[in-house]
Structure 1
Amino acid sequence: PNPGVGSVSSANYSVDTRPADTTGPTTATIALANSALKAGQTTTVTITFTEPVSGLDVSDFVVPNGSLSAPTANADRTVWTSTFTPTLNTNDATNTIELKLTGVTDDIPNPGVGSVSSANYSVDTRPADTTG
């Protein structure tokens, strides 16, 4: 018998032993740049996710005493921004923006689960009293 000479290699292969991602986004933070809005003001709202998401739009939000512009994403799709415009002639000290995560998906794509809310913000957009 003749002994073998040299060596051989298999084709490239990969190993991924991480558990499968079976859940969608379950957490996000919502921050308003200004939490005390007066007449004529708007503020930037920043929504930060723990993983890239798709499908976020204004219909995913519950926005008392105001409205949001269409959210836009950063390149990673983890940070989205929108402009909050308060409703005119309103005075309400207790408001939160709610995001229903079921409207977004991660890259698998798994749908989001649950909802998150911003910290409290106040709106006082009543006209200034200019009478003496």
Structure 2
Amino acid sequence: SWASAIYVNLAGVRNDAGNAGTYTASSAYYTVDTVHPWATITLADTALTAGETTPVTFRFNEPVNGFDASDINLSSANGTLGPLTPNANRTVWTATFTPRVNDNSWASAIYVNLAGVRDDAG
């Protein structure tokens, strides 16, 4: 985001008596949020065997609201994810991933749908 203000040159402004304005009027500084939430997903162990579990970390670039299990797509994950736990500032969420028993898939992935996730600016 960046900060800016609105300025008005009063020299061209006249009151009903025809007196020209002086100086410049300005608004307070305001910011425009130009950053949208994005996430990285990290598994502590990427080579699991049957019976193992691993922590999964969802790290956001800024605090987020509305992130929950419904935002996580496990259709290609070949396993299940335990409850999500956020850190205090809502930038890191963790859960435990458990692969399916007898699944020998070499290409598993976890996806996050960010459509319902909002930063503090909305």
Any idea what the Cα deviations from partners look like across 1:31-50, whole Å, max 9, x if unmatched?
A: 00000111111100001111
Describe the SS at the equivalent of 2:119: coil
Shift of 1:107: 1.0
Q: Alignment identity in percent? A: 51
Instruction: Give the number of the structure with larger relative contact order, counting CA–CA contacts within 8 Å between residues 6 or more apart.
Output: 1
Aligned residues of 1:53 and 1:104 also touching (Cα < 8 A): yes
Distance (whole Å) between structure 2 residues aligned to residue 94 and residue 38 of structure 1:
14
Is 2:82 aligned against 1:73? no
Is 2:21 aligned against 1:21? no
Counterpart position of 1:128:
none
Distance (whole Å) between structure 1 residues aligned to residue 47 and residue 104 of structure 2:
11
Distance (whole Å) between structure 2 residues aligned to residue 78 and residue 16 of structure 1:
27
Shift of 1:54: 1.3
Q: Which amino acid aligns with 1:98?
A: Y
Which sections of structure 2, spanning at least 5 residues, go unmatched? 1-27
Is 2:105 aligned against 1:84? no
TM-score (norm 1): 0.65
Counterpart position of 1:95:
108
Shift of 1:16: 3.2
Counterpart position of 2:46:
35
Runs of 4+ in 1 over 4 A off after TM superposition: none
Which sections of structure 1, spanning at least 5 residues, go unmatched? 1-14, 110-132
TM-score (norm 2): 0.70
**Pairwise mapping of residues 46-65 of structure 1 onto structure 2 (< 5 A)?**
46-63=57-74, 64-65=77-78
RMSD: 1.8
Aligned residues of 1:58 and 1:69 also touching (Cα < 8 A): no
Distance (whole Å) between structure 1 residues aligned to residue 116 and residue 55 of structure 2:
21
Distance (whole Å) between structure 1 residues aligned to residue 44 and residue 35 of structure 2:
30
